[in-house]
Chains A and B, each alone.
Chain A
């Protein structure tokens, strides 16, 4: 393809994703009440609920780090990749008839949903952090650069997972059902509820195979500084993301070849 052809198809894809995005927003949230803001409120309320629960159960007596900040950093991280992946699961089937429009591709449908989830999760994390900082119940992050780096890597992970889960769930019912069980089991392992430092050495080595844990550790490193040692390896996380992205794109490509509207 020539350079201008590539630019043109990029412009088409951007337009299509924009159209899908608006369609998705109106379909999901309607035009009334808070509408689009629910995109952000949903994860926010979730995180707030968890933070309230954890401080009520006095989990904060376990460690020297502030529980609200711990809950916000942990829970927002999980919601980011979990919502992204779940929204992509079985995303094609209800949109199958859109395939009659040649410009609409399988990747665009995932891209629109991923964008929405990511915007919602980022908004929720930012608003919650700013709110609690402004009322003085948590401190401003120690190293915003490291925090944003961790968040960015997690966003990348969310995109890759979305593509993989989205494509696989189209292929097999069994996979889709199993995935929900896997996410449930992954939740306690993904670092939302613990810091790697609290674990025994052998357990540390085992859980650090999970890519997303590195993102959560990195975010907490950026947030709490050196209060608790963190064990992230951004390079490992990035390489894992790169591999997952390749797998995801290959699967999506294959799905695009296979799907057929009724």
Chain B
């Protein structure tokens, strides 16, 4: 289970503080699929960062009793002068996974061919995204964090990612944040709307969507 208890996040700005999250409470149970809808700037990415532990809340605390991924398909932590293989090795070391067991899987999944052993800075953005997703799948988690809809590669690769994440790992929990309701409607059990720093919960996705539409207009 993962519990966010009374999470508040304020950023210091010129002449005061800007409250992004204002007393958020959220519980994620094993296997639960939660969608969070929010407009641009609503604080979705801040929430994801706080969940992932990249950033600390100003107030409140997080209880994690199941393992939680980093934001999925996130390639920002790649070191450009390292090869795809080096980057895989680094992530595996950090998470205590034997990289030799994951080597074939990641190499095949990312479809990089020879480039797997070339520096990441020579990759195209599509190649980077494929590597990032493949590495994300190399470490197993109880709960995945998905920031925005995953649009990796072409339609075929995109489908492969969806299968890998939502079907093969269908028993895991995830939190998906998006400004676009399509994927949340398809994949989530319940949805909330993040607006003005607080989360509104809804029993079903349609009413969340209706509320979100109301906020939008």
Partners in one complex: yes
Which A residues form the contact surface with B (CB < 8 A)? Answer: 12, 15-16, 18-19, 22-23, 26-27, 30, 97-104, 257, 260-262
Q: Answer yes or no: B210 CB below 8 A from chain A CBs.
A: no
Q: Scan B43-87; emit 1 where CB is below 8 A from any A CB, else 0.
A: 000000100111110000000000010110010110101100010
In the complex, B109 has a CB within 8 A of chain A: no
Closest chain-A Cβ to B78's Cβ sits at a distance in Å of: 8
Chain A, Cβ-Cβ closest to B83: A26
Specify which chain A residues have a CB less than 8 angstroms from the CB of B49 in the assembled complex. 100, 260-261
* The residue from B76, B79, B95, B96 contacting A261, defined by CB atoms under 8 A apart: B76
Which A residues touch B93, using CB under 8 A? Answer: 15-16, 18-19, 22
**Residues of chain B lying within 8 A (CB to CB) of residue A103:** 94-95
The answer on a CB contact under 8 Å between A101 and B94 is yes
B40 to chain A, nearest CB (A): 16
Interface centre among A23, A101, A262 (most CB of B within 10 A): A101
Is residue B90 contacting chain A, with contact meaning CB distance below 8 A?
yes
On whether the beta carbons of B86 and A26 are closer than 8 Å, the reply is yes
Number of A-B contacts (CB under 8 A): 60
In Å, the complex CA distance between A103 and B91 comes to: 11
Residues of chain B having any CB pair with chain A under 8 Å:
49, 52-56, 68, 70-71, 74, 76-77, 79, 81-82, 86, 89-91, 93-96
> A102: which B residues are within 8 A, CB to CB?
52-54, 68, 70
Q: Check A100 against B52 for contact (C-beta < 8 Å).
A: yes
Q: Considering only CB atoms, which chain B residue lies closest to A261 in the complex?
A: B54
Is the Cβ of A262 less than 8 Å from the Cβ of B94?
Answer: no
List 23 interface pairs A-B (beta carbons < 8 Å), by A numbering: A15-B94, A16-B94, A18-B93, A22-B90, A23-B86, A23-B90, A26-B82, A27-B79, A27-B82, A98-B77, A99-B54, A100-B52, A100-B74, A100-B76, A100-B77, A101-B70, A101-B95, A102-B53, A102-B54, A103-B95, A257-B56, A260-B55, A261-B55
Q: Are B82 and A23 in contact, with the CB atoms below 8 A?
A: yes
Given A15-B96, A19-B90, 19 more contacts at CB 8 Å? A12-B96, A15-B93, A18-B93, A22-B89, A23-B79, A26-B86, A27-B79, A30-B81, A97-B76, A99-B54, A100-B70, A100-B71, A102-B68, A257-B56, A260-B49, A260-B54, A261-B49, A261-B55, A262-B76
Closest to A259 in B: B55
> In whole angstroms, how far apart are the Cα atoms of A26 and B117 in the complex?
13
Give the residues in chain A near B74, CB-CB below 8 Å.
Answer: 100
Give chain B residues whose Cβ lies under 8 Å from the Cβ of A18: 93
3 A-B pairs closest in CB distance: A19-B93, A102-B53, A97-B76
Is the beta-carbon distance between A27 and B81 smaller than 8 angstroms?
Answer: yes
Which residues on the A side are within 8 Å of B81 (C-beta)?
Answer: 26-27, 30
A218 CB to closest chain B CB, in angstroms?
38
Chain B residue with Cβ nearest A262: B76
Q: A15 to chain B: which residues have CB within 8 Å?
A: 93-94, 96
Q: Considering only CB atoms, which chain A residue lies closest to B9 in the complex?
A: A260
